[in-house]
Amino acid sequence: MTRVALAVDVGGTKLEGALVTESGEIIRGSRSRRETGRAATAASLDDALAAVVAHALSRLPEDAELVGAGIGSAGPVDRGSGCIFPVNMPDAHGYRLAAAVTRAASGILGRPVPVAFGHDGGALALAESWLGATRGAKASLSIVVSTGVGGGFVMNGEYAPGASGNAGHLGQVRLGGALMLEEIASGPASAAWAQSQGWAGATGEDLARDAASGDAIARAAIERSAKAVGEALADAATLVDLDMIAIGGGFSRVSDDYIDLVRHALVASAAHDYSRRARVVRSALGDEGPLIGAAALVLR
């Protein structure tokens, strides 16, 4: 019988659910999503969870065993209580996410469902180490550059959650001043900076289009983001002695050379040869990584 996990990924723009097999494959038709956003509340998250969990479990194969639910969430998180305190969803602070997933799944299956819980950057890091770009690395960091910026560490094949489960919150690192990395490098922050320079667009997708068409301000916003990410990664590589760094998330695809720009900034900024040697690569799992990683919290 195939072992399967319910995977739930909660982010600043969307909440997704799916079923993932023990080999790391998302079961066809089981994936669905609901919007979250800055105005998300406990009630709206309850509704979104109920919908995606019900959809996923309706696709559970008859010959499969559901062994538990894995949850990755925007953080900070509290692994002990199962609560979340997401930076980009202030009205959802204190939301009992683990209990809500348990309630939704158990209500459908009629039995208790074990839950494993972590922050979304850690889930991504575990997925990339298991099946993706950082397989075989001794010390890796996987990050997302999207609505926010966050990541997670894997050391010698083992997820490193830190004392409270929040290791890898790179987006809240300050870069030589008052601004945090996320306030410089995320998609919304980059679009806002470009607007302050006279650019007429609104979104990261607009930045990508205009930069490709030769708009100097849009291109400068992309380069500014990549430089900030590279400098933060140089510090991380120096502090933790990383050999591989994988980058994913929607805004990391804003230009074909975004990863190269980050790599060059890391090399230019890093203090030591060992940190300059950290390999910067694109995430191999794309948008499936956070869900696969959430499931891996149970399956691995």
Per-residue model confidence as pLDDT tens digits over 224-253: 999 999 999 999 999 999 999 999 989 999
What are the C-alpha distances in Å from 41 to residues 37, 111, 166? 9, 27, 22
69 and 92 assigned to the same domain:
yes
Is 130 within a domain?
A: no
- Residue showing tokens 């909660």: 10
Is 74 within a domain?
A: yes
107 and 145 assigned to the same domain:
no
9 Cβ contact partners less than 8 Å away, ≥ 6 residues apart: 15, 16, 17, 71, 72, 73, 120, 123, 290, 291, 294
Higher pLDDT, 194 or 286: 194
263 and 293 assigned to the same domain:
no
**Tally of domains within the chain:** 2
In the chain, what is the straight-line distance between the N-terminal and C-terminal CA atoms, in Å? 17
Is 211 within a domain?
A: yes
CB-based contact 233:141 (threshold 8 Å):
yes
45 and 62 assigned to the same domain:
yes
Per-residue model confidence as pLDDT tens digits over 69-93: 999 998 899 988 999 999 889 999 9
94 and 140 assigned to the same domain:
no
* pLDDT for the residue 13: 84
CATH number, domain containing residue 47: 3.30.420.40
13 and 113 assigned to the same domain:
yes
pLDDT score of 141 more than 90: yes
* pLDDT for the residue 87: 84
* pTM of structure: 0.90
Is 127 within a domain?
A: no
- Cβ-in-10-Å burial (0-12, 13-18, 19+) of 182 comes to buried
Its domain, for residue 56, covers 2-122+288-299
Per-residue model confidence as pLDDT tens digits over 206-217: 999 999 999 999
